[in-house]
Structure 1
Amino acid sequence: MSATILLVEDEPSIGEMVLNYLERDGFTVVHAKDGEEAVRIFAEQPFDLILLDLMIPKLSGMDFLRLIREKSLVPILIVSAKDSEVDKALGLGFGADDYIAKPFSMIELSARVKAALRRVSYYAHAPAEHRANIITIHELVLDLDNLTISKNGKEVKLTSKELQILKLFMTNPKKVFTKEHIYQTVWDEPYYGDENIINVHMSRLREKIEDVPSAPQYIKTLWGIGYRLGEF
């Protein structure tokens, strides 16, 4: 799988280990050792994915994440020792696609990277007959031709994961989805019961598409079961 990855990691031993392993897997890896260097490098060339440590000098990982999300939907995987629920929520809330806590295995890291790149490739090269459709649910309009969502005629800015979750519901309006099903479908990985990732993405998605996020109408919670699309 040929792809170019920006690795943002200030710890030399970890950076070298990740770079060497991913390059052996066939990836091109560019290593930035602080946030300011990462911003400069990202502006100089295109990347297919970013591996981001949060605790980096000069410009924090969170600040770097916010800057990138203002201009790009490139997949971003956080790799950090800051693995508390708050840090996960902050990282995913600012637009990260996944979170891997240190210490991690290189096999797991490589699998997460490949899964993220597969998802991007699938949505970018979906068959034209699928992409040409427009799905309307009440005030929401999902354009599968260019993968955009609008509400009342105004585009809603979603991260790639948020868009994939919403697409899953809007293309299956009668179906109930468990958290396990959502994770396995959207993340394309086995589900090990980490509900925080689903909860954070669902909360952020509701903040963007619901009139009253605390009383959602589009994505309903079925307590103890999962979620389904609301009926209007």
Structure 2
Amino acid sequence: MSGGTQRILVVDDEVALAGVIASYLRREGFEVVLAHDGPSAIETAREADPVLVVLDLMLPGFDGVEVCRRLRTFSDAYVLMLTARGDELDKVVGLSVGADDYVVKPFGPRELVARIKAMLRRPRSASTPSGGSEEPVRRFGPLELDPVARTVTVDGKPIDLTRTEFDVLKALSARPRAALGRRQIIEAAWGPGWFGDEHVVDVHIRALRYKLGDDAGAPRFIRTVRGVGYGMVAG
């Protein structure tokens, strides 16, 4: 990417919509490549190495969930998933395979561009603790979270979390006695520049509980604090 230009891959089988998104992004100085089905999305992502993928959920060939799953085997690009459906399960499945956020159609192109810019301001990896000191492993019963290695285990077995799932769990475990609201979790995991539907936190919590083998009705790890948000169950 010459001159520091950031490359974005837009994947949507609605060719006209993909073109509109691309035109808005190009006006903002991004380099844009397009794909209109699942197989070509993977091929283009391998060739273009984008920093971010705008990915429609419903695609010919194979869907956006499968694209995201395959993408995560070779790329750490941000994934912003587009869905025309309000089904919570679609969001959970998309985020659980590695999407970072979602936007529900219909949406305004300017809003989408702003969401993309906010996402790209987010650090791509954990920063090293100041002074070179390492953060201790956090333990909550059989759950262990290592903030430095960015690993999570339950009963000694590794749990495969997405980057965002880990960041949400890290935010909760950093203040284990506190009940954190959605905005507090977003600022810790996404950064203060993020905006959009704050209920994205609920979707990630649901995915986390599934992977951790947790039960919202009788939680071992993540508790719901009604009217506030979420917190950790004391270990």
Q: Pick closer, same or farther for the CA change 1:150–1:41 going to 2, 3 Å.
A: same
Distance 1:211 1:83 in 2: 24
Within a 5 Å distance, the mapping from 1:116-127 to structure 2 comes to 116-121=119-124, 123-127=125-129
Are positions 1:180 and 2:210 aligned together? no
Corresponding residue SS for 1:134:
coil
Structure 1 residues 128 and 222: alpha-carbon distance in aligned structure 2, compared to 1, 3 A threshold: same
Change beyond 3 A, Cα 1:221–1:144: same
| Distance (whole Å) between structure 2 residues aligned to residue 214 and residue 130 of structure 1 | 40
Aligned to 1:27: 30
Q: Is the 8 A contact 2:115 2:195 kept in 1?
A: no
Match of 1:160 among 149, 159, 163: 163
Cα distance in 1 between the residues matched to 2:222 and 2:9: 34
Are the equivalent residues in 1 in contact too, given 2:24–2:110 (CA < 8 A)? Answer: no
% identical equivalent positions: 35
Conserved 8 A contact 2:9-2:50: yes
- What is the CA-CA distance between 1:170 and the residue it aligns to? 1.6
In 2, Cα distance between equivalents of 1:181 and 1:124? 18
Q: 2:137 corresponds to which letter in structure 1?
A: I
SS at match of 2:205: helix
Count of residues in Structure 1 that have an aligned counterpart in Structure 2: 229
- How far apart are residue 169 of structure 1 and its match? 1.3
Unaligned runs of at least 5 residues, structure 2 = none
Matched, 1:148 2:133: no
1:82 maps to: 85
Partner of 2:10: 7
Correspondences of 1:65-214 after superposition (within 5 Å)? 65-121=68-124, 123-127=125-129, 129=131, 132-138=134-140, 139-188=142-191, 189-190=194-195, 195=199, 197-210=200-213, 214=217
Q: Does 1:225 align with 2:228?
A: yes
- Whether the 8 Å contact between 1:93 and 1:200 is mirrored in structure 2 is no
Once the two structures are overlaid, the 10-residue window that deviates more, 47-56 or 160-169, is: 47-56
TM-score in terms of structure 2 length: 0.83
Q: Secondary structure at the match of 2:23?
A: helix
Instruction: Give, as a single letter, the amino acid of the residue that structure 1 aligns with 2:138.
Output: T
Deviation at 1:212, TM superposition (A): 5.1
- d(CA) in 1 for partners of 2:171, 2:32: 32
Aligned to 2:49: 46
Structure 1 length-normalised TM: 0.84
